[in-house]
Structures are given as structure tokens and as C-alpha cells.
Structure 1
């Protein structure tokens, strides 16, 4: 009788040892926020003279293909160089370069 009781306890103990809870999988939700830069397109002829002069002085081979302005009177300029390189520059209304 002791053997039967011992086997019953041993088998019950071994079954509970293997009855582990499953791994809890947590998923993190990532939210990507795209900042609206609030620039509106303007004609390149509408650029302040200081901004045009800054581009001509610092980038003599560049041509301004597109121009944008925001409420703070900061200008976003899309420029193309003679070698085909395209870039974006930011300047304030006084022709000073700014980081965005």
C-alpha cells in the first residue's frame, strides 16, 4: 500500500512540475509621430534678398529649385548643385543658416 501511495504522490508531483505557465509575450506598441513642418510653398522670386545672397555666397554653384516659408519667417530651400547633388537648406529672414 505504501508503494501505491508513493507512486501516486510521485506521479502527481511530477505532473505539477511540468505544468508550467506559458511564457507571457508582451508586445510594445510604438507610435511614430511625423512632425508637420508648417512650411508653405512660395515662389523663389519671393525670397528675401538676404537669403538669396546667402545661397549665392556660400553655394555659388547652387540653384534654388523650391522655396518654402513658415510663420516664424524661416525659409526651407531645396537646392541643386551643378554635379546633380540635391539638398535642403534652412535660413532665417536675415540670411543666417539655421539647424532644423
Structure 2
């Protein structure tokens, strides 16, 4: 009977070793990117202030595509010679950093 109790204590003792809870890191970083939806518009729909700012900042630039979002911000795909770029402007021709 002593051997049975002793073996039960040994078995339960070894099982409790594996019952330790490991620490869980609570440092969680979440990145949320909100992208506004742009819809394509014709080059004629781009305001004159935006076109003027484009020609002032990028002389000789050709407007390939233009997009606008609900906040009246314009995404302009332009080409200057061999190079292509995408620039962003508000309705007044002020450049935006996105």
C-alpha cells in the first residue's frame, strides 16, 4: 500500500511540472491602413488650379490618368519624358504627402 501511495505521489508530482503556465507577451502592435477609394475621372474634370500646379512643379509633364476621392483629393499619374510618377493634390492645387 505504501508503494501505491508513493508511486501516485511521484506521478502527480511529475505531472504538475508540465502544468506551469508560460508567460504570454502582451505587446501587440497593430497597423491600420485606411485607403480612400479613388475613382477615375477625365483630364477635363481636373480643376484648373491642379493643372496649373502640375505644370509649375513639373514643367513638360503629361497627365496620363486622374483619379478623385470623396474628399476632392486628386491622384495624378503623370509622365515626364521616360519617367512616370504618381502625385497627389487637393482641389486647390496644394501637394499632399501620402
Q: TM-score scaled to structure 2, two decimals? A: 0.66
Tell me how far apart the structure 2 counterparts of residues 80 and 13 of structure 1 sit (CA, whole Å): 80
Aligned length in residues: 90
RMSD: 3.1
In structure 2, the partner of 1:42 is: 41
Q: 1:15-69 deviations in whole A, cap 9, x for unaligned?
A: 1123234978x9xxxx987645232211112211211121111122532211012
Aligned residue for 2:95, secondary structure, equals coil
SS at match of 1:17: helix
Larger radius of gyration: 1
Flag the 1:82–1:18 CA change in 2: closer, same or farther, 3 A. Answer: farther
Q: What TM-score do you get using the length of structure 1 for normalisation?
A: 0.65
Q: Which runs of 5+ in 1 are unaligned?
A: none
Gaps of 5+ in 2: 25-29
